[in-house]
Structure 1
Amino acid sequence: MNKQKQFGLSFEFFPPKTPEQKVILLDTQEKLRKLNPDFFSVTFGAGGSTITATAETVLELKTHETPKVIPHLSCMGGTPQEIEDLLNQYIQHGITDILALRGDVPSGMGSVGYFRYANELIEFIHEKYPNTFNITVGCYPEIHPETESFESEIKYFKQKVDAGVNRAITQFFFNPDAYFNYVDHCEKAGIDTPITPGIMPITNFSNIKRFCGFCGTDMPRWLQYKLQSYGDDRKSIQQFGTEFTIKLCQQLLDQGVPGIHFYTLNRAKATLDVVEALQ
């Protein structure tokens, strides 16, 4: 298990809501640490609903040896003072990487927080803490559900990049051509920030189809039909999903992507199976 990784690796977790979920997360992160990742990231709930839980999870993970832990921070993290207080807490614990997002607006909430867009949050962080934080952002190869066009998607991404970022991580996708087309258009727009593909291993058809609806990810019809054909046979779905994810990641690595960021859903097995096959 203590293999030297051959490509950049990172893993995303979400803050556990129950003691049982915390046990699962701690077990998961312990297993994934052995893959020698570059970092873990911890999500931020819709509307800032997990602001305290995110910080607690980040600090818990940081008590273990390597890798570094990157908290997500969204525009709905509260008032500028509340965001500043949170950033001060991170600095006190030696955390100087942030994944800055606009964030998801909770159902029934008409608007976002004090900052409307991620570039405004990034500008605020750099203004308050010059030369302090490394900023990672998200991007959407298949267009954010609220964005009006592909051209607008590139424009909005460039606004974030111009605000000062170090890397970007994509929303998960199943079509490698979508990623490469997006990167090509970004380069033509003068964007040279490294763009790491985000990958979610397929383990549950109904769950991942629901996530696709939230995120605007396109699941090819053939893939939907194939997963549907297994019915309630979860073992077959997981086996096929792992094989599909391995092939997808290998296609990306063959084209020289800067690394792969896995959306783990706080579970280790599928991600372990994929990474070990790739190594």
Structure 2
Amino acid sequence: MTTPAVSFEVFPPRSIDASFKLWDTAQALAPLEPRFFSVTYGAGGSTRDLTHDAAYTLHKTSGLPVAAHLTCVGASKTETMAIAQRFAKAGVTDLVALRGDAPEGSDGFTPHPEGFADAIALVDALARTGQFTLRVGAYPEKHPEAASQQANIDWLKAKIDAGASEAITQFFFEAETFLRFRDDCVKAGIDAPITPGILPITNWKNARKFALRCGTSVPLWLDQAFDAALRDDRHDLLARALCTELCSDLVDEGVDSLHFYTLNRPDLTREICHALGVTQAITGVQDVA
């Protein structure tokens, strides 16, 4: 089996304890020489400054590429582009450009009166600066707000055509889900790399709840497997085996890069990477204590 390239998503800390957790995650995963770390952006732009600070610190201390998330939510075009320039000034020129989630309790996404209407407009504006490597999100299953899966794919193509160089998918539970989506994207004329997003399941109840909220199908067999594993206290063993098998199946079908949603919990992700042959390099994050 070919050894895949990997990348990891983390979220910015909101407390001192969370800061240590982020640092521990970086310490654990940087030696695997990821293509990049991505740093998320909270719903409604709620972690804007935290994302900037975490991305800057992670980039400076690890020496690794960092891809900061940037969304359209809650900011004018001028403000959004100023945030992008802050990232660039900090040495972070990889961005994951997203429409973004609406603030908690709202009725859904509403563009800022002077803001970008959607991710296509955001990608286009960022691409015109010539400063950034741009990645976008992709849904291997129909986005909850999309009229159809074909409309979903057409939207992704428009983001690629606007200037994005890669797409990273929402997580999924069966390899066929991604492979079918990849084939449909090729038929639609999308030639940019589409990297599958992988969620190592550290807590099945939470993962299932999140899956249903974002339109990810939960197969009956997976529900039954985790129900049995929880009864027998084998949750972690099952999670490791299933995620490793999922990744192996993808690699066997020609997937050469995987993006892991770590939830700032590195152990399971690291174990899966090791099982895939992604081994630790001698160098890693510098100790800046």
* Bin of the TM-score, shorter chain as denominator length: over 0.9
Aligned to 2:209: 210
Partner of 1:179: 178
In the alignment, what sits opposite 1:145? 144
User: Could you tell me which amino acid in structure 2 is paired with residue 70 of structure 1?
Assistant: A
Higher relative contact order (CA 8 A, sep 6+): 2
The RMSD of aligned alpha carbons is 1.5
| Cα distance between partner residues in 1 of 2:173 and 2:77 | 37
User: In the alignment, what sits opposite 1:272?
Assistant: 270
Say whether 1:193 aligns with 2:209: no
> Quick one: which amino acid aligns to residue 250 of structure 2?
L
1:65 aligns with 62
List structure 1 runs of 4+ shifted beyond 4 angstroms.
Answer: none
CA distance in 2, matches of 1:260, 1:172: 11
Match of 1:15 in 2: 12
Alpha-carbon distance in 1 for matches of 2:37, 2:71: 17
1:118 equivalenced with 2:116 (yes/no): no
What pairs up with 1:1-279 in 2 under 5 angstroms?
A: 6-76=3-73, 78-110=75-107, 111-113=110-112, 114-127=115-128, 129=129, 131-231=130-230, 236-279=234-277
Aligned partners of 1:105 and 1:112 also within 8 Å: no
State the Cα distance separating 1:77 from its structure 2 match: 5.3
- Cα distance in 2 between the residues matched to 1:231 and 1:180: 29
Aligned length: 272
Distance 1:66 1:238 in 2: 32
Shift of 1:229: 2.1
| Structure 2 gap segments, 5+ residues each | 278-289
Q: Report SS of the residue matched to 1:17.
A: coil
Taking the aligned partners of 1:28 and 1:118, their CA distance within structure 2 comes to 29
Structure 1 stretch 263-272 or stretch 118-127: which is displaced more? 118-127
Q: Distance in 2 between matches of 1:112 and 1:225?
A: 41
Is the CA contact (8 Å cut-off) linking 1:11 and 1:40 kept in structure 2?
Answer: yes
Deviation at 1:214, TM superposition (A): 2.0
* TM-score normalised by the chain length of structure 1: 0.94
String of CA shifts for 1:80-108, please: whole Å, max 9, x gaps. Answer: 12112211111212221110011111233
Q: How many percent of aligned residue pairs carry the same amino acid? A: 40
